[in-house]
Structure 1
Amino acid sequence: MKLWIDADACPVQIREVMFRAAIRKKLTLTLVANQRIKTPPSPWIKVLVVAAGFDVADNEIVRLLEPGDLVITSDIPLAADILGKGGQALSPRGELFTKENIGGRLNIRDFMDTMRASGVQSGGPPPLSQADRKNFADHLDRILAQSQ
């Protein structure tokens, strides 16, 4: 199993959890972003800088992903592509995307896009809470335990 982070929008606290997990489990972690991201020195952690542009990082993750790999992303269409390729997708808030829930998540996302396009102000997601971080860490631990 390799670990991936859709890093442009991933909260720093979640990246730090992933750094510790990669080093502890000796798993390759690759952060994919359109800019350089600071990481701790480790042979297990890499940064892949891609060109700026719509879905460039997402497309690169999907291209390089192998079945069983885990990707951290809050991008629902990317999560659907990951699942379609046999990978696992976990949001920074600890929501595990599955084949059973991804269709509904895509529908909600599309509905919210339509609402925003019509001028409805929905605001963004709330700040990452301590409960979100714990939920993420718990899901990550379960996934990593299953992969061993």
Structure 2
Amino acid sequence: MSGRIFIDADACPVKAEAERVATRHQMRMILVSNGGIRPSANPLVESVFVAAGPDEADKWIAEACGVGDVVVTGDIPLAAKCVAAGAKVVKHNGEELTGANIGNVLATRDLMQDLRSADPFRQGGGRPFSKADRSRFLEVLERVVRQAKL
């Protein structure tokens, strides 16, 4: 079945925004997590709880998504798998990941990971999530969902 929105839900700051878009388009939304996520009363929203483990939710989403689906994640390796499966991918900040840019994004992620591991004094995880990020996410998710429905 196509036309679903998958949410990598454990650390997702835009679940409510994604649910509004899913409801507007009458699309199923699947929240995938290791637990600790409050189930939604919305009949379009399904919660899937996977076994504890660092990549269990990622594995589940990567195996389940396909053409016509939209995946919301900040996990770049997961995004690469979803793009390869034909799904559209949107990061929490509104950046769309596609076949055209996923290779560069993955390479940059790997480089930054190497730099952080080489310098134990390097701190921080990037800039904080902002209202502008939330707004951009909503705008991009709306556009991507419309494209996925075509």
Instruction: Tell me the TM-score normalised to structure 1 length.
Output: 0.93
Q: How far does the alpha carbon of each residue in 1:63-110 deviate from its partner, in whole angstroms, 9 at most, with x for none?
A: 111212100000001000001011111000000001111111111111
Moved over 3 A (4+): none
| Match in the other structure for 2:5 | 3
| Match in the other structure for 2:17 | 17
| Matched residue SS, 2:16 | helix
> 1:111 offset after TM fit, Å?
0.7
Partners in 2 of 1:64 and 1:145 — Cα distance?
20
Change (3 A) 1:140 1:52: same
| Match in the other structure for 2:134 | 133
Partners in 1 of 2:107 and 2:138 — Cα distance?
27
Q: Unaligned stretches of 5+ in structure 1?
A: none
The 5 A counterparts of 1:44-59 are 44-59=44-59
| Match in the other structure for 2:87 | 87
Letter in 1 for 2:142: D
| Match in the other structure for 2:108 | 108
Residue 145 (1) aligns with residue 136 (2): no
Letter in 1 for 2:31: L
8 Å Cα contact 1:3/1:27 also seen in 2: yes
| Matched residue SS, 1:140 | helix
8 Å Cα contact 1:7/1:31 also seen in 2: yes
> 1:54 offset after TM fit, Å?
2.3
Letter in 1 for 2:144: I
Partners in 1 of 2:135 and 2:87 — Cα distance?
22
8 Å Cα contact 1:19/1:40 also seen in 2: no
Partners in 2 of 1:16 and 1:63 — Cα distance?
24
